Amino acid sequence: MNTQLPYHHHSRSVSNEQRVYDHLLTCVRSESPQDVLYRFQSLFLGTSGYQEPEIRQAINAIVKSTTKQDEFCLFLNRCCYILVNRWQTQFDCRYAISQLIDLLGQASGMPASLGRTQTKTRLRLLVKHFTKSQHFQRLRRFADFMNPGGAASGQQPLVTLLQRYPYLYKHCLVSQGDTQEHQQVIHQAQVQAQQKFEVDLSLYMTDLLKRQTRDPQPLIQTVGQPHPQQGKIIQPVHNPTLLSDSDLRSSLKHFVGKVDARNTHQDLAKQFLMQQHAATSTYKHFKNDFYEYLVSSIDTKFGQCRFNNQLYQSLQNMFPESNDRTMNDFLMVRTCQQVLNFLVIESRQKPKHWIFMDLINNVGSTSTVSLVLKVVLICKKIKPYLEKRFALLFNHYESQKQASVQWLVHCFEKLNLAWCGLFGKFDYSYVSVL
């Protein structure tokens, strides 16, 4: 690197962390990605001397004053995102995000004892700890998100499909301590991806409707007789999902169409809420009614086997101290959240999801997604909470090959469909004729 950056002296009130942030921001704005990566390697991996001794001194001071490893993780995470947020806005610089991840990944296998001083040894230990943190996993996920590597492939890890699911972006790519700039980047990407999918799905379904209602043309023409539409062949619109054409149609029809010859899922949710509002009921009565509302769409044989009883017991165990209280919004939200924990997954610390897998194996992904949608439709405040449950599943399986978790891919695809059909800007009521 030939670029020598002037170091601007700060007042003593400026923290060492802020000096490093300002320095990296100046570098990433004025230097090539390769030069910045070289600086980063020298600064945090200690592979060589550093041009600006004041910055090296600031890093050393941070290392010496760090009493908790998680504090250094937050510091290094912000340093990384200062670079990443700049590079992600320039298409020809995005490759550097993956190279930054690779640099940090090398640190995880580098013996800390190679540090020539106690400070360098501790720095390497802190960087190693960072590579095992949730911050680094989220950073790696963001690198895969920015460089997805082409079309879906069964041999690629699940994480490479993240771009397909806008409802996962916030939960998989943003943490509480991230800068406002990074949060805005992810929000904009989510809005754009959601809008694109909605448009692509609408075009596909509209094209499907046109083709079904159009007079069919003979498949075989008499020799010498030109096809009446020759030269005007219209290519079918591409299916925007990873589902088969028939699965896409039947799933969307199930989400937005009639499910009992008279009512849609939205109709049933409205009827349930009207019944609850018509008479002041206790929380215990609500739980009983909620149980009936949910199991009404479950396959009878599967439900009677064990699921219905498990759901009933789970509901009865929720907030028993409130059984005699009048039902209210707070209890509604908390109960719906607990039901989603039961049906999908509770938390990263408690990642068991055998109920969810049991549902998929026995009633299929469409009916399983419909069941969790029924919960959201009576309490739309918990829509982000359901998305978070799906994000936990995504993170849990992100390193698995797509081919080995097709059941989960289908669930992600179908939740995408459901969000468009129920909360999107296009009307899909016509799907009943397909």
| pLDDT tens profile 176-208 | 778 888 899 899 999 999 999 999 999 999 998
Between residues 26 and 7, which one has the greater pLDDT?
26
- Model pLDDT, residue 233: 55
Residues 309 and 387 in one domain: yes
pLDDT at residue 1 tops 70: no
Chain segment 221-258, per-residue pLDDT in tens: 334 445 444 445 567 789 999 999 999 999 999 999 99
248 and 108 together in one domain: no
Tokens of 234: 């219209």
Contacts of 229 (CB under 8 A, 6+ apart): 217
Buried b (16+ CB within 10 A) or exposed e, 98-134: eebbebbeebeeeeeeebeeebbbbbbbbbbbbbebe
**Are 138 and 194 in a shared domain?**
no
For residues 419 and 355, membership in a common domain is answered with yes
Winning range, highest mean pLDDT, from 106-115, 141-150, 229-238, 351-360: 351-360
Question: Could you say which of 147, 179, 201 is where a domain stops?
Answer: 147
Residue tagged 């490479």 (tokens): 160
pLDDT of 34 over the 60 cut: yes
Q: Are residues 201 and 301 in the same domain?
A: yes
Asked if residue 319 is part of any domain, the answer here is: yes
In a domain, 408, yes or no: yes
Terminal Cα distance for the chain, rounded: 63
Instruction: For residues 377-401, give the mean pLDDT.
Output: 97
Domain count for the chain, please give it: 2
Are residues 269 and 411 both part of a single domain? yes
The pLDDT value recorded for residue 223 is 41
Where residue 332 falls (left for φ over 0; alpha for ψ -120 to 50; beta otherwise) is alpha
- Structural domain range at position 109: 16-147
The answer to whether the beta carbons of residues 31 and 3 sit under 8 Å apart is yes
Residue 234, pLDDT score: 60
CA distance 28 to 18: 15
59: exposed, middle or buried (Cβ count in 10 Å: 0-12, 13-18, 19+): buried
| Mean pLDDT, the chain, whole residue set | 88
Backbone dihedral angles phi then psi of residue 359, each to the nearest 5 degrees: -60, -50
Checking if the pLDDT of 404 tops 90, the result is yes
Least confident of 59-63, 170-174, 259-263, 423-427: 259-263
Residue 29, in any domain of the structure: yes
More confident of the two residues 13 and 205: 205
140 and 264: one domain? Answer: no
Q: Are residues 49 and 104 in the same domain?
A: yes
25 pLDDT more than 80: yes
